Amino acid sequence: MSPMDEALRALPHGPEFRFLDRMLELEPGVRGVAEYTPGGDEPFLRGHFPGAPILPGVLLIEAAAQLAGVVAQADPAHAPMQGMKLAAVRHARIHGTARPGETVRVEATLTGRLSNVVSARVHARVGDLVVLECEVTLAGASSRS
């Protein structure tokens, strides 16, 4: 298994809540690029919207957070954070979305790390269209007992 595959499999989410299918690039602790292609049979697409399904914008943000987490947790200079979760979203702009069969390309660059907190700048594209721009902050469990 490649280091990129291992990094992606390290996501704590179950398969039904993973919004990254494949890693394309990974600089551990620095940046990463991944893709997600909604297939059309996901339960959330049946209701969003019947007859004309689109990927919810909040799931674009979740994909952004998942990729930022993969990049952070792959950093060999830092032990993986326990219980890392999305703590904040800033400056989010959702410019579009994806339909079933369209591939979302997500790119995350870590912008800061302090103890159990990591920040990243993320954007996502479908083809040439930027569909998401945001900053995410992830936080892990405190190292205090």
pLDDT at position 9: 79
Does pLDDT of 25 surpass 70?
A: yes
Above 50 in pLDDT, residue 8? yes
For residue 3, what are the contacts with CB-CB under 8 A and spacing of at least 6? 26, 28, 74
Query: Which domains occur in the chain, in start order?
Result: 3-139 (3.10.129.10)
- Does the pTM surpass 0.85? The reply is yes
pLDDT of residue 11: 83
> Do the beta carbons of residue 55 and residue 98 sit within 8 Å?
yes
pLDDT tens track for 102-145: 999 999 999 999 989 999 999 999 999 999 999 999 999 865 54
Which long-range CB contacts under 8 A does 122-129 form with residues at least 24 apart?
A: 122/64, 122/65, 122/67, 122/68, 124/60, 124/63, 124/64, 126/96, 126/97, 126/98, 126/102, 127/102, 129/95, 129/96
**In the 3-class helix/strand/coil scheme, how is 79-129 assigned residue by residue?**
CCCCCCEEEEEEEEEECCCCCCCCCEEEEEEEEEEECCEEEEEEEEEECCE
The first and second tokens of residue 9, run together, are: 């499999």
Sign of CA dihedral 47, 51, 55, 56: negative
Res. 19: pLDDT tops 60: yes
Active site residues: 48
71 or 16, which is more confident: 71
The residues pairing with 25 across neighbouring beta strands, listed in sequence order, are: 33
The pLDDT tens digits of the residues spanning 57-109 come to: 999 999 999 999 999 999 999 999 999 999 999 999 999 999 999 999 999 99
- In this model, does residue 4 exceed pLDDT 80? no
Please tell me which residue, 123 or 14, carries the higher pLDDT value.
123
Q: What is the mean pLDDT of residues 33-48?
A: 93
In whole angstroms, give the CA distance from residue 54 to residue 33.
22
